[in-house]
Amino acid sequence: GKAFDSKPSLVVAVTTRGFVTTDGTKNVYVYTQGTNFGGIAKVGDMVKFSGVKAIYSNMPEVTPVTSVEVVSSGNNVSYPNPKDITASAGTYTATEAEFVSLTGTLSVSGIYYNLTLDAFADGSKMGSIVYPVDDLNAASFNGKKITITGYFNGLTSQNKYINIITTKIEEVEQPGEATLTN
């Protein structure tokens, strides 16, 4: 609930309603709620912002946001090796925006992009792509087994959904799908 002004920090992921910034040690979601400042920050921008510190799903975030200033653009963004949480999905939790990957079959329904995980075919635990931007072309993966990579953004709906602010989507090659070349 405390208002603050950030130091310049690098935008490493975007959603249709905000962005993830890092100072090199911590990552935080700046939730603009898609209004006023939504879409202003791009991956590779160095930004300064003002807002209120908040906790959402046990994760730190900034909302509401009162200002966003792009200090520079086109900065290099490198990502750490993601922590694959597919096998530990049933027990995974974190209190920081860790860089993770998760594999499952995508189901798109309106604004919801959810992953059915093989170990939880009953739907008791699922992955969720948080407000994907058009550049991810997420809807084109509907019904396909994919791996999403990005920043963990908390558990919602009584810990059913593992929310990930996604930076990359890759289709998983299914057994027997390999193509032969001459």
Q: Note the pLDDT tens digit of each residue in 154-171.
A: 999 999 999 999 999 999
The torsion region of residue 173 among left (phi > 0), alpha (psi -120 to 50) and beta comes to beta
Tokens of 182: 């001459």
Ranges of residues in the chain whose predicted pLDDT is under 70? 36, 175-182
Give the separation between CA 169 and CA 103, rounded to whole angstroms. Answer: 10
Model pLDDT, residue 40: 87
Amino acid (1-letter code) at residue 91: T
Contact in structure between 91 and 129 (CB atoms under 8 Å): no
* Residue listed under structure tokens 């992921």: 13
Contacts of 3 (CB under 8 A, 6+ apart): 50, 51, 52, 53, 66
Buried-state track 117-153, b at ≥16 Cβ within 10 A, e below 16 = beebeeeebbbbbbbbbeebebeebeeebbbbbbbbb
Model pLDDT, residue 73: 97
pTM for this model (two decimals): 0.92
Model pLDDT, residue 177: 56
Contact in structure between 54 and 63 (CB atoms under 8 Å): yes
Model pLDDT, residue 35: 72
CA angle 35, 165, 61 (to 5 degrees): 60
Model pLDDT, residue 178: 54
pLDDT in tens, 19-51: 999 998 899 999 998 776 777 899 999 999 999
CA angle 175, 113, 40 (to 5 degrees): 125
C-alpha distances in angstroms, 131 versus 56, 90, 99?
15, 23, 17
Model pLDDT, residue 182: 47
Give the separation between CA 162 and CA 86, rounded to whole angstroms. Answer: 10
